[in-house]
Amino acid sequence: MKPIRLPEPPGSGMETPEIFTGGSANVVHRAVVISNSSPSAESQCVGLVRALGLADHLTLYRVTRPSGGINEWLHFLPISMHKLIDQVLRHFFRNTRFALLVQGRKPYHVLNGGYVGLSSVLEVDTKKIVATARDTFDKEGPTLVVACGWDTISYSSSIRHLASDNAFVIQIQHPRSRLDRFDLVVTPRHDYYALTASGQQEIPRLFRRWITPQEPPGRNVVLTVGALHQADSAVLRLAAIAWHDELAPLPKPLLVVNIGGPTRNCKYGVDLARQLITSLYNVLDSCGSVKISFSRRTPQKVSDVILKEFAEHPKIYIWDGEEPNPHMGHLAWADAFVVTADSISMLSEACSTGKPVYVIGTEHCKWKFSAFHKTLRERGVVRPFTGLEDISNSWSYPPLNDAIEVATRVREVIAERGWTVG
């Protein structure tokens, strides 16, 4: 099978970074990432920062909701209100028999930054970020702020309001209202599915005014095909080295199977697991080996069916969920992928490699998920997994490069303000 040459991310050459050559007050040298503690959200932010060449000058903040006890029922609230209610409840019930009900067995905490390659992270502090952006502007230039996830919207929009002359704020994922609160909004094209002819047909006229977005994307909106991520060529080369001893000796072709979990717009259960099992048996003769991984969202009933079927199979290896996570190694070493249709992130990563990607479960998807899969098929980057495939027959396509394309647009908009990205 011919090796696929991955595209190089911008700034991946050996030139000296501008931060070490003097620069100026109009050059962006550093980035602040604000995430909602989701690995997918952080990967999107870090992926864009990497594409801009600022990964070595990155500070990561997390918005962390209270968890445990009654807090699991309060996640529908705005995060500021949720935290306030949590503090009040903890104060009034801390020495009563209701304390466990209110706070649960484990207090919430800020996780470390291991899976994004950082040694530590900070709880988000809007005032501190704004003060730093203002105080260091003349000496170190503007601050790039990249946020992702619903819970980050209030923080990133506040930073843009308070430090608009000192920071450039990017919100990843559609904030659903008032896009002018951000310098740029980066969101998948399928988030605008509600405005298409197909989307309008699916929405009863009575409810159309409540479905967002209501307006076509404006000039400060950058549309992507899928989700941003940090699996660029440099990361995959490092992963190939790190996982060489474990993955290189496996018989080829190596088929990697990534299993997500059902979502509101892509519902399935053990029926899809059984379909996957049947199809995998049908292609095993054309596989050297198979690596299967489950995500955090995979229901136990789904993983149990697959584990029971393949646990003793000599060609099939199932990740046990223990660290280190082999995901990047799988992306680097796989010859082909099978991905469940629910995971836009895993599909986006696989499609960035240029290697064959097969999707299972698209018939369970609706609404904007259907639009996403239609786009992938039209671009020729995925094919349905039917069990009739010959995995040894490779095929390729122009890899998806959403992060690089977004980075190009970011540089253009920043240049309009008289700034550049170092």
**Which residues in 133-147 are b (16+ Cβ under 10 Å) and which e?**
beebbeebbbbbbbb
Single-letter code of the amino acid located at 364: H
pTM (two decimals): 0.86
Query: Kindly report the CA angle at 44 between 259 and 402, in degrees rounded to 5?
Result: 95
Query: What pLDDT, in 10s, does the model give residues 266-281?
Result: 999 999 999 999 999 9
Spatial strand order of the sheet with 143-148 comes to 122-123, 58-62, 30-35, 143-148, 167-172, 184-188, 221-224
Instruction: Name the token pair of 327.
Output: 């995901």
Instruction: Name the token pair of 132.
Output: 């730093």
Q: What is the mean pLDDT of the chain?
A: 88
d(CA 266, CA 85): 33
Instruction: Name the token pair of 81.
Output: 């209100």
Using DSSP, state whether 209 is helix, strand or coil: helix
Q: What is the DSSP secondary structure assignment for residue 115, as one 8-state letter?
A: G
Second CATH level (architecture) for the domain 18-64+109-225+402-421: 3-Layer(aba) Sandwich (3.40)
Using DSSP, state whether 36 is helix, strand or coil: coil
Domain positions in the chain? 18-64+109-225+402-421, 69-103, 233-384
What pLDDT, on a 0 to 100 scale, did the predictor assign at position 74?
Answer: 73
Phi, psi (rounded to 5 degrees) for 234: -65, -45
CATH topology of domain 233-384: Rossmann fold (3.40.50)
Q: How many CA atoms lie within 13 A of 231 on its CB side?
A: 26
pLDDT at 371 exceeding the cut of 60: yes
pLDDT at 99 exceeding the cut of 70: no
d(CA 422, CA 414): 11
What pLDDT, on a 0 to 100 scale, did the predictor assign at position 95?
Answer: 65
* Mean pLDDT in residue range 124-153: 95
Query: How remote is the C-alpha of 371 from its chain's centroid?
Result: 18
d(CA 375, CA 235): 26
Query: What pLDDT, in 10s, does the model give residues 215-265?
Result: 999 999 999 999 999 999 999 999 999 999 999 999 999 999 999 999 999
Alpha helices in 52-118 (DSSP H): 79-93, 99-103
Residue 254 CB: number of other CB atoms within 10 A?
A: 22
Instruction: Name the token pair of 53.
Output: 């060449």
Are the C-beta atoms of residues 166 and 143 closer than 8 Å to each other?
yes
d(CA 273, CA 242): 31
Query: What pLDDT, in 10s, does the model give residues 274-308?
Result: 999 999 999 999 999 999 999 999 999 999 999 99
> Rg for the chain (alpha carbons), in Å?
23
pLDDT at 110 exceeding the cut of 50: no
